[in-house]
Amino acid sequence: MAQLSLLNISGKDAIRQRLQALRQELNLHAHRYYVLDDPILADAEYDRLFQELVALEQQHPELITPDSPSQRVGGAPLAQFATVAHSVPMLSLENAFGADDLVDFEERLFRFLQIREPIAYVTEPKLDGLAVELVYEDGLFTLGSTRGDGLIGEEITQNLKTIPTIPLRLSTRAGETAPRRLEVRGEVFIGLADFKRLNEERGQAGEALFANPRNAAAGSLRQLDPKITATRPLDLYVYGVSDPTTLPCRNQHELLKYLGSLGFKVNPLVHLCQSIAEAIGQFAQLQSQRPTLPYDIDGLVVKVNDFALQERLGAKARSPRWAIAAKFPASQATTRLIAVEFGVGRTGAITPVAILEPVRVGGVMVHRATLHNEDELRRKGLMLGDTVLVQRAGDVIPEVVKPVIENRTGQEQPIVMPTACPECGFALIRAGQEAITRCPNPDCPAQRVRGLIHFTGKGGMDIEGLGKKAVQQLVGLGLIQDIPDIYRLTTEALSTLDGWGDKSAENALRAIAASRTPTLAKFLAALGIRHVGEVTAQLLARHFTSLARLVLAGEADFLHIEGIGEQVATSLVDYFQDPAVQEMLARLEALGVSVQEENRDSEADGALAGSVFLFTGALARLSRHEAKARIKELGGQVASGINRKVTHVVLGDSPGSKLTKARELGLTVITEDEFLRRIGR
């Protein structure tokens, strides 16, 4: 009996070894085929090895591993996607539209850094795809998500596993180990030839065609059934990680090479530039290459190469200071300007909107386009009846570029900017140097409706059932006039809406009830305060932790927060000092709306409150990311550059120029050991 058992163990070990060898060989050849475009194995031989792998795994399912090539397709369809909070926000990039904007970008860097020495940059094609994050733990792919709003994305791990250019296990050289945790960012896309074939297949099957490759990629990644995603020709290029300080790389160029060594696909058109002039040259060269590329791009990303400089530059609320997206001229077409409508936004901004004869621009049918503001309208010299050049700004938002003067017949009519609000009749104003004309009436029905739509929408409280159409109906019927009225709604009132019944009304009321205890960040974003979006709301919530403290804050308190500027601070003070706002907040409280404080344990309530830390040099006993996270848990802040708001400079190994500047400013410098004592380590 003992001999039989030993034979079984020996046989199982042989199968395990064969499976390991098959996986390694198949992953190697897949990498050469999909990433390096340099196959050395015939397709038939690859298929034979794959079938052997699948057959062995079917016989011994207990030996299947997460990184097996067989696991790229599988899993039951999901009912819905879970959400994932990014440990480091996936910020968007500011845009540049030519050489002058790139020169201005470098000038801003010089002013912020207070230097004039040349800065090196890395340029990368800006793919028109979908940003994702891939998390690896001890070298194994464990979690994948979309960018989402930059803070929270959708968990799409199984769908991402179907993309052959995403390694399921990182490659490492002999003697090396994979990082304990690595969060890689990249862009998922579909190549132009694959997109054409995909649409041809859909057309032959009688299915709706995708408008463009980006829509196709986004729709494919958001399939609840991974088997459907597996049929789509998705690809990926990686461009960075969430926290490069944890890796053996000093700059972006080294990082991309390092990611390539781990098995990721890195765009071959990445270029290291020693000056902004060289980056501008790359912009022009890539623009000329654009028609010949096998995938869609809409610009060039320019990044400061040196990570030490990136850290000094830091980020604003929505974008890093050290990177910019230089956008190519957008897709264009000509059509006729039929009329101009003047819309009223939720902040009272009057926006002229061109009504056009429908025209296809960049694969999308366009019949309306923004004219931005009165100054832009005058600068372009547009007239009703003009033939106009239309483009999709950033290849997304339709806008009118200019009139085609040569096509004028003399029948065109001037466009007259209104002097009174088209919704409420109040006299319009333009404050100071603002380019925006506004309706100053806080009771303007258009502002009220748009504010309510924002409050209940996905960028606000996300109250299911109370979408744009429902809100408009409720206002039209006189059932709601302002935000507190939402919390007075009844089943009887809601069931009177077009297409609604008792069940729809009850579902909406449950969603309204669930929204009575919002987080502070969610509530602030929902209020629609000028210049306060979701990212800024998160900054405010983390700093003040409660609505009561925030309401009493002054401009100086707001300016103390990294990422909050004078414009935002003034807007916040003006908003919360408005008696109508104070009365609205009181009514909401009386109706049972209770804004939750930021969750912090008793230790965090004040341990590092008011402290601002800056790191220089490498920490020996914990990662920079862990240190920053602990500071924020304890109520402190982390600075990205030297300034007088910094209360403690933490000294690591091989400190940089920050130490000299800190001593010049007389800032408190502490050792890593002292820092660890302060955070309870």
CA distance 321 to 94: 9
CA distance 243 to 362: 36
Alpha-carbon dihedral of residues 666, 672, 676, 679, nearest 10 degrees? 40
Q: Identify the residue whose tokens are 């408009």.
A: 472
CA distance 101 to 473: 45
Long-range (24+ apart) CB contacts under 8 A made by 28-34 are 30/69, 30/164, 31/167, 31/171, 31/263, 33/164, 34/164, 34/165, 34/235, 34/265
480 in Cβ contact with 494 (< 8 Å): no
Q: Which residue from 356, 537, 533, 530 is spatially nearest to 436, judged by alpha carbons?
A: 530
Q: Which residues contact 99 (CB under 8 A, 6 or more apart)?
A: 280, 283
Start-to-end CA span in the chain (Å):
55
Q: Identify the residue whose tokens are 């369809």.
A: 77
CA–centroid distance for 354 within its chain: 29
User: Helix or strand or coil: residue 234?
Assistant: strand
CA distance 201 to 572: 53
CA distance 330 to 335: 16
Give the angle subtended at the CA of 107 by the CAs of 106 and 109, to the nearest 5°.
65
386 in Cβ contact with 408 (< 8 Å): yes
678 token code pair: 């302060």
636 token code pair: 């402190």
396 token code pair: 């997304």
Q: Is 261 exposed, middle or buried (0-12, 13-18, 19+ CB in 10 A)?
A: middle
509 in Cβ contact with 517 (< 8 Å): no
Which region holds residue 263: left if phi is over 0, alpha if psi is between -120 and 50, else beta?
left
Long-range (24+ apart) CB contacts under 8 A made by 590-595 are 591/484, 591/487, 591/488, 592/487, 592/516, 593/487, 593/515, 593/516, 593/517, 593/518, 594/516, 594/517, 595/517, 595/518, 595/519, 595/520, 595/523, 595/546, 595/547
302 in Cβ contact with 279 (< 8 Å): yes
Alpha carbon of 49 to those of 44, 46, 67, 208: distances in Å?
9, 5, 16, 37
CA distance 286 to 292: 10
Catalytic choice (126, 628, 658, 661) = 126
171: DSSP letter = -
300 in Cβ contact with 102 (< 8 Å): no
Alpha carbon of 185 to those of 85, 300, 322, 604, 614: distances in Å?
14, 17, 17, 31, 26
CA distance 357 to 338: 7
Active-site residue flag, 126:
yes
Amino acid occupying residue 176: E
516: DSSP letter = T
User: Helix or strand or coil: residue 2?
Assistant: helix
Q: Which residues are catalytic?
A: 126
